[in-house]
Chains A and B, each alone.
Chain A
Amino acid sequence: MSTPAPVVALQEVSKRFRGGTIALEGIDLDVHPREFVSLIGPSGCGKSTLLRVIGDLVPPTEGTVTVNGKTAQRARRDRDYGIVFQQAVLYDWRTVAKNIALPLEMLGWDRSKRKARVDEMLQLVELTAFADHHPWQLSGGMQQRVSIARALSFEPALLLMDEPFGALDEMTRERLNVELLRIWSETGSTVVFVTHSIPEAVFLSTRVVVMSPRPGRIAQMIDVDLPQPRTNAVREEPRFFELVTEVREALARGGAEQATAQLVAEGEL
């Protein structure tokens, strides 16, 4: 039995910023089709940098990055992925519909084809009534749904999400979590999702990648075997709590190892 080729393949990826900060060190990670992989770790563990390395928005210092079997740069040029940031990053001068249409414009789609797809996307994120509104007229949660619709509009095989719900209140976040899972199962895409919320990572993912900081390394990978499709009821199951605990302990271990390493380096131990 042969496993399908990974959508994202990282080998020995390191990133050193000018000034010497080591953001990432020796990252090996394969993300397979239809996987939902969360990168979780404390601030400064390089998880956002890792996402940008996959998206060819930040070049790695060492190692190889392969997306859809191509170099990361080739994949970006081919518009192989859609990206969602913590802020919705909607352009104020464009209506909701036109914001969603932006990548389609960049791909050179004609007007009628664009309109048909935008209508579909508005339905998907349940914002049809707001097509002609401007971003500032929407709530934070609605803005983020527009941002997701925009990332999905050209049907990229890969969705990169950088703490997309981090700035939202807990209730909105939980609702959008369920919505995201529905979209994920409907579109059949592969997702790499950065978060620092443990329950969010467990609820959404098929696999959680726990990272430790300075330098950013992969501390542990935890497969999430909760059944699909998931609803909010999952959040109350014992298995959910077990997994949350497992991730929490992995995070604590990662932090402890790092603290120990630092003490050794400083000659205290």
Chain B
Amino acid sequence: MIRRLRDWLPVFAVFAAGILLWQFAFAPWLGHFLLPTPTAIARSLHAHWSVLWQAGWFTLQEALGGFAIGSGLGIAVALALARWRRLSGALMPYAIAANAVPIIAFAPIMNDWFGLLNPRSKMAIAAVLCFFPVLVNTVRGLTTVPPAAIELMRSYAASELQIFRRVRVPNALPFIFTGLKVATVLSMIGAIVGEYFGGSIQALGVQIENSVTLFDLPLAWAAIVVASAMGIAFYSLIGVVERFTMGWHPSAHGVRE
């Protein structure tokens, strides 16, 4: 426990130093209007707590939905690509090309397709963002298996399906979780970016957009704090699931590289 505390101490120290610099150097230097002080943001956060909290939850739900759809599809397609390599050769260039399309360009289109106020339009954007990193990481995990690990299974006359289940999928787990962690953050970004192009007044992105328009910058920053907190919570949740699923992995036992 003491050890844990000592590990976290530098983190807290940097956080405190950053807040102090912000409060007493950056904010006065840039002017309190352009950069509100942390105390002003905290006051705003306190005053608008229930609205912000609800907005955050609303947006997090959109992000979760998009995350589930995008990651689910990413894993499913990766399984197919790893199973049928020829398919992979035919489809991978398109997946890469699709990933190169700026998501900002998709956002208004999704809003048109699924309806501006419908959370599904934001889920779609988040899903598109999540799909690619999960796909790429999963394919890599399924295919970068040491040749001898496959030869061993073949020596037991294992079928392709048995090799998949017993070797490729467990081998891919650390890779899949890396992809999922990246996707958590991307899903929050996707949902909020979608909301900038219009959405329910309950949404966090719309809140940020409105408060900036009204020059209530402390409120905008307070909303950003909520968005970050949601993102961190989501990321940590996947981290916990990872530890739970991969208790066998050296990293779950405090072993460091």
Interface residues of chain A, those whose CB is within 8 Å of chain B, are: 52, 55, 57, 76-79, 81-83, 85, 87, 89, 91-95, 102-103, 106-107, 134, 136
- List 14 A–B pairs whose Cβ atoms lie within 8 Å, in order of A's numbering: A57-B151, A76-B157, A78-B157, A79-B155, A79-B157, A82-B155, A85-B148, A87-B148, A89-B149, A91-B149, A93-B170, A93-B173, A136-B250, A136-B255
Determine which of A55, A95, A134 lies in contact with B155 in the assembled complex, contact meaning CB atoms within 8 Å. A55
The answer to the question of B166 belonging to the interface, with a C-beta cut-off of 8 Å to chain A, is yes
Query: How many angstroms from the CA of A136 to the CA of B249 in the assembled complex?
Result: 9
In the complex, what's the smallest C-beta–C-beta distance from B256 to chain A, in angstroms? 12
Q: Are B248 and A57 in contact (CB under 8 A)?
A: no
For the complex, give the distance between the alpha carbons of A4 and B175 in Å: 51
Contact yes or no, A102 B166, CB < 8 A: yes
CB < 8 Å neighbour of A83 from B146, B152, B158, B248:
B152
Question: A93 contacts which of B148, B162, B246 (Cβ < 8 Å)?
Answer: B246
Please report whether the interface of chain A is mostly helix, strand, loop or mixed according to DSSP: loop
Which residue of the partner chain, among B156, B166, B248, contacts A92 with CB atoms under 8 Å? B248
B155 closest partner in A (C-beta): A83
Bound complex: CA A57 to CA B249 (Å): 30
B174 to chain A, nearest CB (A): 9
User: Given A87-B148, A106-B162, do A92 and B249 touch, yes or no (CB 8 Å)?
Assistant: yes
With known contacts A91-B170, A94-B248, A134-B248, A102–B148 Cβ distance under 8 A: no
Footprint of A on B, CB under 8 Å?
A: 146, 148-149, 151-152, 154-158, 162, 166-167, 170, 173, 246, 248-250, 255
Do residues A85 and B151 form an inter-chain contact, with CB atoms below 8 A? yes
A91-B248 Cα distance, complex, nearest whole Å: 10
B51, chain A: closest CB distance, angstroms: 46
**Chain A neighbourhood of B170, CB < 8 A:** 91-93
Interchain CA distance A89-B173 in the complex, whole Å: 18
Q: Which 10 A-B pairs have the closest CB atoms?
A: A106-B156, A93-B170, A93-B248, A89-B148, A85-B148, A77-B157, A83-B155, A136-B250, A103-B156, A57-B151
When distances are taken between beta carbons in the complex, the residues of chain A under 8 Å from B158 are 106
Q: Which residues from A are CB-within-8-Å of B152?
A: 83, 85, 89
Q: Is the CB of A87 within 8 A of B167?
A: no
Which chain B residues border A134 with CB–CB below 8 Å? 248, 250
Q: Are B156 and A79 in contact (CB under 8 A)?
A: yes
Determine how close the nearest CB of chain B comes to the CB of A185; give it in whole angstroms. 24
The smallest beta-carbon distance between A165 and chain B, in angstroms, is: 16
Q: How far is the CA of A99 from the CA of B151 in the complex (A)?
A: 15
In the complex the two chains form, is B156's CB within 8 Å of A87's CB?
no
- A88: min CB distance to chain B, Å: 9
